[in-house]
Structure 1
Amino acid sequence: MEPQMADPAGLTGAFWTEAQLDLNARRLEHLASLGLDLSRKSVLEVGGGIGDLTMYFLDRQCRVLLTDGRAENVRFAAQDEQFRGQKRLKTEVLNLDSPGKSRKGEYAIAFCYGVLHLTAYPERALKFLAASCTEILLLECEIVPGDASSLHTTTHPTEAPLGPVGPRSSRPTSAWVREQLAARFRFVYAPVKPPEHEHFRTRSPCVSPAREVFIGAHTRLRSDMLRQV
């Protein structure tokens, strides 16, 4: 039996709860249903934590740069047994609040699930992601109620492995996300059906914080599972 990987920060206790594993399963189940060509692509994954969604792309023969704003998460992912021998995977610390220059032309896909609402400057993050991908941005984030385009800034402790890197986060309304994507992509889409999970908005108007999936595309996508917004 191989020895278990050291986890001095207790990361698996945060990332591998029953609730989080169920959420991840529903996320990937839904992503696979959207009719998108996600095989043999180059992928920039941001806010990837310890890599719990990364294997989805590696299984499809993609080349992936897995990034997160916390160095301890990235170190854990780099040592994870599931990624042993994966020559198509690289890891890097990347904080979306200060991402630096875009990776323009390097990646076909930007993958940003569960992290935009944890950033202090989501507009800056979307600008970086839109410039870094040549095809599509796959985006999932928490939203707050309201029909207007707005951000709701809150403060947080910064110790949680799944929480924001800095003390501030900015949760957007759905309208804000659509508006920002439309400013950076020729086409903006939403799924016809949301993931089968209680966190995802299934009724309108939204009455409590929930999650939504958005897709920004530089060229038109053709899928019956998407609607242009």
Structure 2
Amino acid sequence: MTVSTSSIQTPNFDLDELNRKYETAHPSKILAWCVENIPTGLVQTSAFNVDDIVITDILYRELKHRTPVMFLDTLHHFPQTLELVSKVKDLYDLDLQVYKTPDVDTRAAFAAKYGEALWDSDIQQFHHLTKIEPLQRGLAELNAVAWITGRRRDQARTRSDMPVFELDSQQRLKVNPIASWTRKETWAYVFEHNVIYNPLHDQGYPSIGDEPITTPVAEGEDERAGRWRGSDKTECGIHI
């Protein structure tokens, strides 16, 4: 699906000035700016990793803002992830918006339509079907002019220069409120505020993606080393 950029009315913000002002700001300050300056069309995209839930906690508990939270149900998530989604939805009374590959509802149906283990034969197509197309469709249907991610610069070398505020390929505002945080700072927030998180994080999975292509990470490995192990892939395509 191709979304026309002419239909996206992104406010004319000065990104250079915003990035200078908020480079070292606490995520709550960045998110408060978003809530104040983007009264409609603000969406959080969440894979329900710990960083994502920290952002949700700030939005819903601290700022009392019922931001739509978009979750991409790839049909290949760990059971623990899907259980967490349900718990977080109930805990915060989330405005949860779920998007998935059209016309399939189970892994078996996906395999029947697109082939067994598509991630092995064509990882780009797998991610297009399960993430990229549903994301773009979701942002369009939710009339998003800005979307919030849970990315940090220290997660991977491909994210080391990531700004707090940027424009995506459709000219929507893309906000990375914890860009400057470290993994340690995320977990300090979790323990301070008793934030719920995926139990897989305690089992060697610092970054959790689809079950068939996510493995535990050994001591000293990169945080995202368990994603697409054995390949040179570092991103699914959503953030490229």
Q: TM-score per shorter chain, which class?
A: 0.3 to 0.5
TM-score (norm: length of structure 2) = 0.36
Structure number with greater CO (CA < 8 Å, separation at least 6) is 2
Structure 1-normalised TM-score?
Answer: 0.37
